[in-house]
Amino acid sequence: MKKIIIIGASSGLGERIATDFARAGWRVGIAARRMDKLETIRNLYPANIAAAEIDVTAQDAVKKFYDLIELIDGMDILLYAAGTGFYDPDMEDERVTTTLDTNVTGFARITAAAYKYYKSTANRTPGHIAAITSIAGTKGIGVAAAYSASKKFQQTFINALEQLAYQQQVNVRFTDIRPGFIRTPLLDPEKEYPMIMSVDHAAPLIETAILKRKRVAVIDSRWAIVNGLWRLVPQRVWRHISLKW
Ligand SMILES: NC(=O)c1ccc[n+]([C@@H]2O[C@H](COP(=O)([O-])OP(=O)(O)OC[C@H]3O[C@@H](n4cnc5c(N)ncnc54)[C@H](OP(=O)(O)O)[C@@H]3O)[C@@H](O)[C@H]2O)c1
């Protein structure tokens, strides 16, 4: 039985992907802070899902992560889907700090722990570290500066880990998933977002990218075009563009 651990599985994309993998017969380890939500998800497929309360910003996160790997007896794939972000034109200190604690410190803590796990399992089977980053990491979005920068950090960290794995001959693959806007609890339900996608549309595309071990996947094809165009925009022009969040 293949095994996947999903950090940030109590709502949104992580929840949906966890239930899809469990339904497909995978053993799934789910983690987040809200244990009541995780229990509800676990009860849908109790034979396939194990749950653990993990706060990625806490010092004990790595120990709890390793305990969860042991509980499901291994990890073929880590999916880091935990994340937070805010519409934050006023750059509120608490919002900036929470975003960086979760998306930078928590992300680095868990993905580094996964890398070390794969390094120590002597390359019996290839490991796989996947993370949901964002198209926000391509350029800085003014009203979500900390979030944008945290997503760029994640993308760079994955690139660096891939190079390290090559140097250290650790058999691990990496998938960087970069979605555009998706209607999940992360977004303000009152706000309108351009080219917003449903979870029903985005989740299967993300799952295919993971299963095909794509290195980078922009979700979806329309966002891939937008993202490609963004890359061509020089900063002196970019600063005049007003993006909604
Ligand atoms: N929705 C979008 O438009 C969009 C676009 C691009 C990228 N993304 C990325 O997709 C990922 C999933 O987000 P989503 O849209 O599915 O939003 P979501 O429904 O808010 O899910 C976020 C998940 O992260 C978990 N989480 C937050 N802080 C945590 C912490 N300190 N420790 C452990 N888990 C934590 C939450 O669980 P608890 O609160 O229970 O801990 C929840 O399960 C995020 O990385 C997000 O940046 C989303």
Sign of CA dihedral 135, 68, 119, 62: positive
The CB density around residue 156, as the number of other CB atoms within 10 Å, is 12
Q: Give the pLDDT score at 244.
A: 63
User: Which amino acids bring their CB within 6 angstroms of ligand 1?
Assistant: 8-14, 32-34, 37, 54-57, 81-85, 102, 106, 132, 134, 179, 181-182, 184-187
Distance 158 CA to ligand 1 centre (A): 18
**The pLDDT value given to residue 243:** 75
Q: How far is the CA of 12 from the centre of ligand 1 (A)?
A: 7
Residue 132's pLDDT band, with cuts at 50, 70 and 90, is very high
Which among 4, 6, 2 has a CA at the least distance from the CA of 15? 6
Percent of the chain with pLDDT over 70: 98
Rounded to an integer, what distance in angstroms lies between the CA atom of residue 6 and that of residue 14? 7
Confidence at residue 27, expressed as pLDDT on a 0 to 100 scale: 98
Closest ligand 1 atom to Cα of 13: 16
Amino acid at 96: V
Predicted TM-score (pTM) above 0.95: yes
Condensed to tens digits (0 to 9), the pLDDT of residues 149-193 reads 999 999 999 999 999 999 999 999 999 999 999 999 999 999 999
- Taking phi first (over 0 means left), then psi (-120 to 50 degrees means alpha), and beta for anything else, what does residue 106 get? alpha
Structure confidence by residue, pLDDT tens digits, 68-98: 999 999 999 999 999 999 999 999 999 999 9
What's the residue count for the chain? 245
